Amino acid sequence: MEGVGWYWENSGDKKLSGDWDFSKMTQNNCRTHPVGQKQPNELGLYDMSGNVWEWCKDNWTKRTNVLPKDGTPLTSGGDSRCRALRGGAWDSDSSSCTSAYRSYSAPDFRGSSYGFRVVLSGLPSA
């Protein structure tokens, strides 16, 4: 994780360790970082682990077996009051900074650890 993502232990001025502690993060100036300072993942994508939680179009559900098998977003079903989040953030534990880890929030929530990635589809590949 250290090489590809920003999380609470490595997002500040010096490396932290021990139990998650917001006061330690504040004193250490933990924060988001510009894209591309870490190595890309195996697909060549930067900052898909950590830095900011990425909003997904999916309605929230705990039950992963109801998610569409073709990768389309879950927009019918689930809890439409909440949206799925993926990837973890600068203030997260490293174990939640994976594409497989799922969290959720109300779609009108804003914070320094939330963001999104614009994905273009249907474009011809180079």
User: What are the chain's domains?
Assistant: 1-126 (3.90.1580.10)
**DSSP characters over 59-96:** EE-S-GGGS-TTS----SSSEEEEEEEES--TTS-GGG
Per-residue pLDDT for the chain (126 aa), expressed as one digit of tens each? 788 999 999 999 999 999 999 999 999 999 999 988 999 888 888 888 999 999 999 999 999 899 999 989 999 999 999 999 999 999 999 999 988 899 999 999 999 999 987 766 666 665
CA atoms within 13 A on the CB side of 109: 16
Return the pLDDT at 121: 66
The C-alpha atoms of residue 26 and residue 16 are separated, in whole angstroms, by 12
Return the pLDDT at 99: 81
Mapped onto helix, strand or coil, the DSSP state of residue 2 is coil
Return the pLDDT at 126: 57
